[in-house]
Each structure stands twice: as structure tokens, then as C-alpha cells.
Structure 1
Amino acid sequence: MMKRIALAERPTGAPTDRNFRLEEIALPNPRDGEVLVEIQYMSLDPYMRGRMDDAKSYAKPVNIGDTMEGGAVGRVIESKSEKFNVGDFVFGQLGWATHGCAHETLLRKLDPNLAPITTALGVLGMPGFTGWYGLSELGRPKEGETLVVAAATGPVGSMVGQIAKAKGLRTIGVAGGADKCALATSKFGFDHCIDHKAYDTARDMNAALKEVCETGVDIYFENVAGKTLDAVLPLMNQFGRIPVCGMISWYNAGNLGSDAGEGKDKLPKLWRSILVKQLSVNGFIISNHWDLYGQFLREVG
């Protein structure tokens, strides 16, 4: 038998425990080309919130009653694949469960002698790759430039900051709370960190950012949107770059972004900034860029 967490109902606003159901079901039997994995670690990532909504997006939502989606690493305990043996460690989208069954084409073998298997869920996995791709390919960093990173202590933001610092950039993080800001500067090497919770308005936050971004902002790595975007946008320099990775401040808004549209329309201000500052704003979905994963590992690993 195995345990899993299924999506019981779609959340309205922030998810609660009533949206999920813990179930005990029979272990699946692998078919030809498949393996059964005993899951040891799993990752909880912001994109999963979007999978809970029945809305058109870049990926299908989780169906009611299905196992919640998520990346996981574990050990093969039964194999009907020529590529994997019992005892191998693998990574895959195995879900919120104690066990998972997947086809060999959907799994990646891990070598615990090269790096801890948990790194496949973080720095050497999807979050790390996301940060590397967004900064390197879309941010196009140059030594001496100034970078602002939203959600600076998360797995993506912290990776962005460290890569940028290694490339000679001035790095400014934005995080929620004094403890997170201390972590950003002491562990992840950011030059400064702005606590967005300390400011009620984007105008106040903008003033704080202006003090530490004396020459403006060349790259804004967007993970949050909302107040942080409003605070950073006026500081963007000519030909600035904005890789758009996420907008977590709006994820629980029901109809994504509906709260941002209430009151004064901010779109003209955004559009004008893009035009007159000649900004490059690029949204990206990391699953479309796995062809560069080997390059990422060679550079970061």
C-alpha cells in the first residue's frame, strides 16, 4: 500500500487543508518501460498553486481526485525498464505521495556520489535551472550592472543573486521580513536586501530601493509582481531587462491578477515605461528550455 495526497476541491484564494485528501491506495504495478519509485524527498514550488485552478495555462490543471503534482526524488524498488535498475536514485514528477510509478522517459537518473540527491529538487534542479536560464539568457548580465531580485531568499531568487554576484553585478534582494533579509545578505551574498513588509506603499518601497540603487536598475528578476513591481519599475535604466519568472503576489487572487486591475489602471504606466526606457520584458516557462540543462550543469555544477 502507498499513501498520496489528492486534490479534493479547487481552492478559492489561499489553499487550505480542506482542498486536499490523504488517501491510502494499492501500489501500482509497473508495465513495460516503467519503474516503481519509493519517494524520499519532494519539492513544494509556487507553480503548483496554478495547477490547482481549472484555468487555461501553459500546463493542464490537476484533476479533482488525482494525486497533486510535484517533483520528487527517490529509489527504484521495482523496474521493468532497461534504463533503470532496482536501487537507482531518480528524479521525476512523481507527485505528493510515498511512491510513484513512471515511464523511463519521464525520469532522470541521479548519482549520489556527485551531489546529494536533494540538489535535484533545488540548486541543480528546476529552481536552480530556472534562475540560471532567466538571468543568463534573458537578463544578459554585464559586470558592474545593478540587479534587483524579488523573492530573493527563495530557491530561484537566491540562485539568481549568487550567479549575478559571481559575474560582478551589484545585487539587491527583496524579501519579506527582517530574518529573510538577513539571510539574503549573510548567506546568499546580496549587497543589500529590502524588506517589502516594512513598507505600506510602492512609493515608500521605491524610496528605499532608490537609496541602494544609486545608478538605477539594469535587471529586475520578477518573481512576485504587485507592489514590488510598482516600486522597481521607475528605477529601470534604459535598455533594462526584466525576466518574468512568476507573479506569486497574485496567485491566490482567484482570477489571476484581478486584484491588480482594481482602482486606477496601471497598464498605461507600464506600457510607457517599456517604450520610453526601451525595456526587454520576457516571460518564460522553464520546461521549454531543457535542451540547455546540460550547459547549466557544466557551468553551475
Structure 2
Amino acid sequence: MTPNKALVFAKVPTGLPVAGEHVVIKTNEFDQNSAPPSKGFTGKVLHASFDPYLRHRMVDPQNARDGFEPLPVGSVFPNGIIVQVLRSDNDRFTPGAIVVGMGPIQEYVSLSEKEASQFLPLLNPQNLELKYFLGPLGMPGLTAFSALYEIGKPKKGETIFISAATGAVGQIVGQLALREGLTFHGGFNYRDGDILANLKQLAPKGIDIYYDNVGGKQLEAAITCLKDWGRIVACGYASQYSIPPEKQYGIRNTSMIIGKRLTWRGLSVFDDHMGNAYRSRHQEAVGQWIAEGSFTPVLSETNGIENAPQGLVQLLEGKNVGKALLNL
């Protein structure tokens, strides 16, 4: 038997989670020689993704929000993982193959037919580092790509403002914006000074697109600075995730949306007209750009399952630069 350490949701937090209290490591055992489940497979997890949406699931079932199903206390955190197949009872997955999908963040997995159906063979024609398929070539990259083109509709010469531009999605949007000839050449730390004043200084003529990952004060500032017919891509509101609903920041200038004829649209990468519609184009283009060196993946890496609680909490604290992931 082999020790099988897992990242476990131990307790519902009231604010920011604390590593070792709300997020912990627990160890079970795994038999590498055991037969796989019927029509399923067993495997070794190589990389796992940390994503801000996990905070939505760390709530009491009575406080479910935004359509995310609360995680039962004591369960292993599920998220995007890259797995090397060990044993298989499914023709889609051969031993030694590398696959990617949604599964538990732990060292080894034993997946049923239903769980295995969420996995796909990882196609890597450019022979890139596997971890990129949880970042620029994974869900964050596809979210950035599809939302920018489907909702942002960028035009050369326009100006874009991206909140959390150093994050998993924001850093992809920024590089795409530069490729599209958008003005995106300055930045500021939202913790330093007045957000609206900083934005007006950087974009004195206003902005055309706001790619919103954080909500709150940055959203309010963006609405003020958007030009007529501007577009807001509502991807997330990370600044409010760990704040109780009654204490979240209230946007005060939504009346400007009418006068400026703004488009403000939310998204889910899982919608057919989003991820599915842009998947092939995204994989081909971004994969080629990474291979040729004209696109730079930025990663915030945690090494070792024993450090996973700290890695996840640091993401939720906003301390990551680039895509947060775990190397097992």
C-alpha cells in the first residue's frame, strides 16, 4: 500500500480560509496494484489547479451562492488535474497515457466510469510542459480567450483595463490584448492610492473594454472611465469572495450604463457559445505562440501536496502572480 495524501475541506470559514484549519492534508492508502473500477481507471496525479471559484464552494449549504454546489466538510477538493494513467478498464485510457479533467486533488485517484467521462487525453503536439494545460492552455486560458473575443470584441487602437492582470486569466487577456493592437501598456497596484485617480491617470481619454476579475471598487472606477458603447466582460469578483453578502461593496454608478449604452455581460466558459465555440482556435493559436516563444505563461507554483493548503490560501489572499497550480 502507498500513502495517498489529499487536500481536504475541513471547516467552513467565515472570512479568508486558514491553512491547517479550514484547508488541511489528510492521508489515506492506495494500492497501485488494485484493479481499476469497472470502465474507469486509476492514476497518479502530476499537477492540480488552484482556482478562486473554490472559495464559492467553501460555504455552509444554506449559504450557497452563484450556482456553485457547496462542498461537504471532510471532502477532497475537486478541480482540474493532470493524471498519468496506471491501470485502466476503459479503451479511451491506456496505461501510461496523460489525461486532463476534473478530479480530486490528491496523489493517486481511482475513478469510476462516470468520473472518468470527465477526462480527455491531453493533446500536446508542440511537446510543451504539461502544467501549461492547467493555465494558458487550460480553463483559465480558454476563459480569457473566449470572453475577450465573444464579449470584449477588441478593435485595434482601443484601450483595455484588466483587473487582476497578474492572475491566471488576466495575464492571458493582457497578452492577447497586445497582440490585437490594444492600448495596454501601464499598470497600478490597487492597494496604492485611489483606484479611480490611478485609472484616469493611465487612461486619460477613457477605456473601451473592462475585463473584470475582481468587481468592487475597480468595477465602479471602470464604469466611470468607460467610453460610450464600452464593454464590460464580467468574469469574476474576487475582491468580494470572502466578504459576507451584506458587507460587500455596493456599486454606486450603475446609472452610467444607460447613458453610455454600455454592454455588461457575465459568462461561463462551459457555455456552448463560449468555451466549446473557441476551444480549437484557442488551443492551436496559444499553443503555437508558446512554442515559438512569443507568448509567456506566468505561473505561481506550489511544490508538494504537503504545501497545498498554503498554496490554495495564498491564491485566495491574492498573493499569486500568474496561474496558481500544484506540482505533485
Shorter chain as normaliser: what TM range?
0.7 to 0.9
Q: For 1:91 and 1:129, locate their aligned partners in 2 and report how far apart those are by CA, in whole Å.
A: 14
**Structure-2 residue corresponding to 1:43:** 49
Q: For 1:142 and 1:12, locate their aligned partners in 2 and report how far apart those are by CA, in whole Å.
A: 43
**Structure-2 residue corresponding to 1:187:** none
Q: For 1:245 and 1:259, locate their aligned partners in 2 and report how far apart those are by CA, in whole Å.
A: 17
Deviation per CA, 1:74-109, whole angstroms, max 9, x where unpaired? Answer: 211111110111111111112221112334321121
Greater helix fraction, Structure 1 or Structure 2: 1
Q: For 2:218 and 2:68, locate their aligned partners in 1 and report how far apart those are by CA, in whole Å.
A: 26
Asked if 1:258 corresponds to 2:261, the answer is no
| 2:236 aligned partner, one-letter code | G
**1:112 offset after TM fit, Å?**
4.8
Q: For 1:59 and 1:197, locate their aligned partners in 2 and report how far apart those are by CA, in whole Å.
A: 29
**Which residues in structure 2 correspond to 1:32-181 (within 5 Å)?**
32-53=38-59, 54=61, 55-102=64-111, 103-112=115-124, 114=126, 115-171=128-184
Larger RCO, structure (CA 8 Å, separation 6 or more)? 2
Q: For 1:111 and 1:286, locate their aligned partners in 2 and report how far apart those are by CA, in whole Å.
A: 20
**1:113 offset after TM fit, Å?**
5.2
Asked if 1:294 corresponds to 2:280, the answer is yes
Q: For 2:163 and 2:110, locate their aligned partners in 1 and report how far apart those are by CA, in whole Å.
A: 36
In structure 1, stretches of 5+ residues that fail to align are 172-190
**1:9 offset after TM fit, Å?**
1.3
Which of 267, 270, 273 matches 1:284?
267
| 2:218 aligned partner, one-letter code | T
Indicate the SS of the match to 2:270: helix
Q: For 2:102 and 2:192, locate their aligned partners in 1 and report how far apart those are by CA, in whole Å.
A: 37
Please report the TM-score for the alignment, with normalisation by the length of structure 2. 0.78
Q: For 1:127 and 1:74, locate their aligned partners in 2 and report how far apart those are by CA, in whole Å.
A: 18
Q: For 1:93 and 1:65, locate their aligned partners in 2 and report how far apart those are by CA, in whole Å.
A: 18
**Structure-1 residue corresponding to 2:8:** 6
User: How many residue pairs get matched?
Assistant: 271
Q: Which moved more, 1:23-32 or 1:130-139?
A: 23-32
Q: Once superposed, what is the RMSD of the aligned Cα atoms? A: 1.7
**Structure-2 residue corresponding to 1:215:** 205
CA 80–226 in structure 1, closer or farther in 2 if over 3 Å, else same: same
Indicate the SS of the match to 1:169: coil
| 1:291 aligned partner, one-letter code | N
Indicate the SS of the match to 1:170: coil
- Percent identity for Structure 1 against Structure 2: 30
Deviation per CA, 1:271-298, whole angstroms, max 9, x where unpaired? Answer: x111011111011111224322123213
Please report the TM-score for the alignment, with normalisation by the length of structure 1. 0.85
**1:232 offset after TM fit, Å?**
1.8
Q: For 1:258 and 1:223, locate their aligned partners in 2 and report how far apart those are by CA, in whole Å.
A: 19
**1:71 offset after TM fit, Å?**
1.2
Indicate the SS of the match to 1:25: strand
Q: For 2:234 and 2:43, locate their aligned partners in 1 and report how far apart those are by CA, in whole Å.
A: 34
| 1:86 aligned partner, one-letter code | P
Which of 13, 19, 22 matches 1:19?
22
In structure 2, stretches of 5+ residues that fail to align are 288-328
